[in-house]
Amino acid sequence: MRKSLKQPVPRTQSHTVESVLAIAKHPIHPMLVTFPIAFLSMVVVTDVLYLWLGATFWAELSFWLNVGGLGFGVLAGIVGTIDMMSIRVVRRHVSAWNHFIVAVMVLAMAALGVWLRLPGHAEAVWPWGLVSSATMALLVMVAGWLGGTLSFRHGIGVYGDEETDAASGRDAERKPPAE
């Protein structure tokens, strides 16, 4: 009988790192980012609808989605930055720094979008409003992917089931020291 050359891959348990800014252990940053993600990813859609249908409602909506996304994005960014700078384990992850940099780029694009649209919402859509909103939507996807990687792969800003952890003796293993 021939022995397989392929070795079994050991299953690793990911650590969980609780957020510093949380309400009843629910991290605030992931709660807040849903708004800028939704708002800023829809700006390109409303821009296209304005160009297709010609109704100024869509250009106005693009502006207000951009403003709302920027406002909530700045708030989420402040909370996320406090979490990142408060927890040493988080600062060690390249994904955290990548997420931070791309999120700052998203906020810069959102600020550009507001600045472009402020003098005239409809006039700003073609071509630069559309270019900036499409770029912003792409950056939102990248930032969201990296943020999801931090939560789901690295366990940043999440917490485990304490009863299961205590019963299996993983409690100390799963909670790296936070500073």
Q: So where are the chain's domains?
A: 35-157
Cβ atoms of 67 and 114 within 8 Å: the answer is yes
Which pLDDT score, from 0 to 100, does residue 150 have?
Answer: 84
Which pLDDT score, from 0 to 100, does residue 8 have?
Answer: 58
Which pLDDT score, from 0 to 100, does residue 25 have?
Answer: 80
Which pLDDT score, from 0 to 100, does residue 30 have?
Answer: 87
CB atoms closer than 10 angstroms to residue 6: 6
Q: Please tell me whether the peptide bond between 10 and the residue prior to it is cis, using omega within 30 degrees of 0.
A: no
Strands 22-23 and 26-27, by their bridges, are antiparallel
Which pLDDT score, from 0 to 100, does residue 1 have?
Answer: 55
Q: How far, CA to CA in Å, does 162 sit from each of 25, 53, 121, 138, 168?
A: 12, 54, 51, 37, 10
| pLDDT by 10s per residue, the chain, length 179 | 555 566 655 544 456 777 778 888 888 888 999 999 999 999 999 999 999 999 999 999 999 999 999 999 999 999 999 988 988 888 888 888 999 999 999 999 999 999 999 999 999 999 999 999 999 999 999 999 999 888 888 777 776 555 445 545 544 444 554 54
Which pLDDT score, from 0 to 100, does residue 110 have?
Answer: 98
